[in-house]
Structure 1
């Protein structure tokens, strides 16, 4: 592959792999060895002497990344992004459930998307909490499961223009005023 074939995503993936390898060496105490690549005389591949250290480093990376998914989703909600938008970025939906509901179930309730699981909404106890970037209130977000925005998000201030704009859009979309 030439350098012109290198996309930013592919380059970032390479940096992440290198970071996992560095963590395996620096944190989990393994070392690296250059191993000849079969069929080449001068090219080598770097290998960890203890692959379990690489496994530990990759697991640490995954746990941190999963926590970041939730943190960035919460920050996106605080910035006015919908659960549908978040789910779309995550490449959801899986199965027939609405994209926003699947994203909420995954990131807040801890239920990974499963195309074979029926009734993902049957029992829900989790909520997301974030600070509204418009009114500054700590908002409880119960997910995109109800029609009215006030049933999904509570604790916006009475003068929150973002929340009232969502309520006005809901009223226009549904023709309801309650």
Structure 2
């Protein structure tokens, strides 16, 4: 494989993203727009005008995929494969106390999704989402809805960002606290 070859899974991932956009348009009423890619003059990216349509499409695809995962696991069992084989195909970690077959069965049959952390180990990372603010063009770190003040929830807006200032004003009006 040369440096310019793309793996089959990368190609498939791109096709899935394209299918999600098509489902968002066809089933959830969104439209696609072409937006320039920063730093390029010719290349563009396609975006949905309504991100909620993308959420609906992704949720639908996930629900269907989870059902198919269960069906394929049942077919694998019928074909003589073990739950350990299925767990290995799912790339589940082999645990000292929880064999992969048991984890696979718990996930696919009982609905208990495996914990991504190794047993007895908890990471100290702070989960965050990152996105570009359409108002100020800053890269925002979104710490989730657990904080109160907008500065505790999001960081990265530029000074004077209209969106962030509006969030702070709404928070002040809602709580009665000064900024």
CA shift, 1:5, in A, is: 2.2
Q: Secondary structure at the match of 2:64?
A: helix
| TM-score (normalizing by structure 1) | 0.62
CA contact (8 A) 1:94 1:113 kept: no
Which runs of no fewer than 5 residues in structure 2 stay unpaired? 121-179
Which runs of no fewer than 5 residues in structure 1 stay unpaired? 119-178
CA shift, 1:4, in A, is: 3.8
Tell me, yes or no, if structure 1 residue 24 matches structure 2 residue 27.
Answer: no
CA shift, 1:94, in A, is: 5.9
Q: Secondary structure at the match of 1:42?
A: coil
Structure 2 equivalent of residue 54 of structure 1: 54
> Which whole-Å CA distance do the structure 1 matches of 2:93 and 2:70 have between them?
17
CA shift, 1:3, in A, is: 8.3
CA shift, 1:41, in A, is: 1.2
More relative contact order, 1 or 2 (CA 8 Å, 6+ apart): 1
Structure 2 equivalent of residue 99 of structure 1: 100
> Which whole-Å CA distance do the structure 2 matches of 1:53 and 1:3 have between them?
36
- Deviating above 6 A after TM superposition, structure 1's stretches of 4 or more consecutive aligned residues are none
> Which whole-Å CA distance do the structure 1 matches of 2:67 and 2:60 have between them?
11
Structure 2 equivalent of residue 82 of structure 1: 82
Tell me, yes or no, if structure 1 residue 108 matches structure 2 residue 80.
Answer: no
| TM-score (normalizing by structure 2) | 0.61
CA shift, 1:42, in A, is: 1.4
CA shift, 1:117, in A, is: 6.9
Total equivalences in the alignment? 117
